[in-house]
Amino acid sequence: MKVKFSSPGKITLFGEHAIVYGRPAIVSAINKRVYVSMEKRDDDFIKIISDLSSDFISINEISNYKGSLIYIIKAIEILSKYTGRKKGVNIIINSEMPISAGLGTSAAVSIATIAAYSRIIDYNISISEIAKLGHKVELEVQGIASIMDTTISTFGGTMYIKPNVTIEKIKIDYEIPFILGYIKREYNTAYMVNKVKSLMNENKEIIEKIMETIGLIVEEGKKAILEKNIEKIGLLMNINHGLLDSLGVSNKELNDMVYLARKAGALGAKLTGAGGGGCIIALCPNNESIKNNICNAIESIGGKVIPILLSEEGLKEED
């Protein structure tokens, strides 16, 4: 028995970091996905082959696992406990995106793994159970996690998410042309989230007000998206980027890509995700020569251009 599921990565249009402090964010699934293939084994072992590394481990020892494939192992562990069922499996992972780039690959792999493994163990799981357990995976691995990434990886589309308050789908029936620029991260998400946390602890009043301001940008951003006001979206991205810079989560390489993209004609540009390196998004006017200039600008400082489209597709079973 073989199954294959895929889940999308995401970009944060507005509101990263502030969402950790109860503010809303707007997040979009993108047309780059993580694929998880599974096949039942006759023994109790889990064998994983991914783009980057491989592992072979007994299903009875997964609670002690510390390796690089932790999200996959943790997803299997949590689902096994949740259902009381377990099986040995061969797993193959492929990603169309760089990992640890702020694109939500850990959420995508967790969600697709839960979906595939529930089929393997013959548990009839609901989509909202998948989203909930996916968030639990991130929480247990990272210690801290918003529901943002796992929600988008499960349901796709563009969402306005306010933790513990609301998750609203934002219907986008027109193209918002983004270019993604990627550069290797200096620090991972957990490090950046904790960095902001200690900044908050030591400068509560100032940082709270910055988070409030980001919250306002998210509200205005939602309006601008619904009104198809592309120029306003770009302007709000620029303001949001400066506020992220003030939180200490940008770095020289991200700022270089952001400013060069703007100079090359982007209507707006910001880092996306937790920062400390990783990705920027540049909002492009509908003009091929300007798009080329933006790509060249990103590449001129060693950034990698990843062409993306916003996508409505969430978790999906593959043929």
Question: Measured from the CB of residue 205, what is the shortest distance to its own copies in angstroms?
Answer: 6
**Annotated catalytic, 51?**
no
Question: In Å, what is the CA distance from 229 to each residue of 142, 308, 314?
Answer: 37, 20, 26
Q: Which one is catalytic: 42, 149, 256, 319?
A: 149
Length of the chain: 319
When binding is defined by CB under 8 A, the residue of 29, 180, 196, 235 that contacts its own copies is 235
Question: Measured from the CB of residue 94, what is the shortest distance to its own copies in angstroms?
Answer: 36
88, 42 Cβ separation under 8 angstroms: yes
When binding is defined by CB under 8 A, the residue of 39, 213, 229, 316 that contacts its own copies is 213
Residues 240-269 that bind its own copies (CB under 8 A): 240-248, 250-252, 255-256, 259-260, 263
When binding is defined by CB under 8 A, the residue of 216, 229, 304, 316 that contacts its own copies is 216
What lies within 8 Å, CB to CB, of 16 at 6+ separation is 25, 244, 272, 273, 274, 275
Question: Measured from the CB of residue 179, what is the shortest distance to its own copies in angstroms?
Answer: 18
> With binding defined as CB under 8 A, does residue 290 bind its own copies?
no
When binding is defined by CB under 8 A, the residue of 58, 203, 292, 300 that contacts its own copies is 203
Quick note: the x/- pattern for its own copies over 161-200, rule CB under 8 A, is ----------------------------------------
When binding is defined by CB under 8 A, the residue of 78, 220, 282, 308 that contacts its own copies is 220
The encoded tokens of residue 183 equal: 């550069």
**CA distance linking residue 95 with residue 71, whole number of Å:** 14
Question: Measured from the CB of residue 241, what is the shortest distance to its own copies in angstroms?
Answer: 7
310, 158 Cβ separation under 8 angstroms: yes
Exposure class string for 12-37: b at 16+ Cβ within 10 A, else e: bbbbbbbbbbebbbbbbbbebbbbbb
Question: 3-class SS at 53?
Answer: coil
Between 206 and 309, name the residue whose CB sits nearer to its own copies: 206
264, 296 Cβ separation under 8 angstroms: yes
> With binding defined as CB under 8 A, does residue 210 bind its own copies?
yes
**CA distance linking residue 241 with residue 235, whole number of Å:** 10
Between 161 and 297, name the residue whose CB sits nearer to its own copies: 297
> With binding defined as CB under 8 A, does residue 61 bind its own copies?
no
**CA distance linking residue 5 with residue 147, whole number of Å:** 20
**CA distance linking residue 115 with residue 197, whole number of Å:** 33
Footprint of its own copies (CB under 8 A): 203, 205-206, 209-210, 212-213, 216-217, 220, 235-236, 238-248, 250-252, 255-256, 259-260, 263
**Catalytic amino acids?**
149
